[in-house]
Amino acid sequence: MSEMVSREDAKARRDIEEVAAIVVDVALQLHRDFGPGLLESVYEAMLAHMLQQRGLLVERQKPVPIQYQGVSLDEGFRLDLLVDGRLIVKLKSVENIHPVHPKQLLTYLRLMNLPLGLLVNFGAPLLKNGLQRVVNKHTNFASSRLRVHQQEAQS
């Protein structure tokens, strides 16, 4: 019975590229309505609410434990948003993204063994210039509708 439920859940789950496209659509709407200049926490709260209205599961400021060489840190880092349990969204509200920001997101993806993350800078005058995809062993781009800055972060 539990195997049947998990298969049904898998069918009901959206493709990660579809989830990413929804996040981008909602972020664009949010930026269009409010523009740059608000605190990251405000964008985070509004984006989370809007994504939940679109039927996505959103966890804010999710603590992620790290285990390394027998040491367990209960709170290694916090994710801004974890969408549908598999897409990390890192939010910024700064004039310019620094090279460390996509590297941090790539590290989070590796630690959590997740394939895709979005770096969203609401501080950019045009949000399309503030969007960046970061991938970790993600190969299924066939369904991707996101065509803004599809640079892959390299370590």
In 3D, which of 35, 9, 15, 54 has the Cα closest to residue 141? 15
pLDDT at residue 16 tops 50:
yes
List of domains in the chain: 15-135 (3.40.1350)
- Give the CA angle between residues 17, 23, 25 to the nearest 5°: 100
Model pLDDT, residue 150: 40
C-alpha pair distances (Å), 90 with each of 3, 64, 68, 142: 33, 14, 23, 24
**pTM reported for the whole predicted model:** 0.80
pLDDT tens by residue, 112-146? 999 999 999 999 999 999 999 999 986 765 544 44
pLDDT tens by residue, 36-82? 989 999 999 999 999 999 999 999 999 988 888 989 888 778 999 99
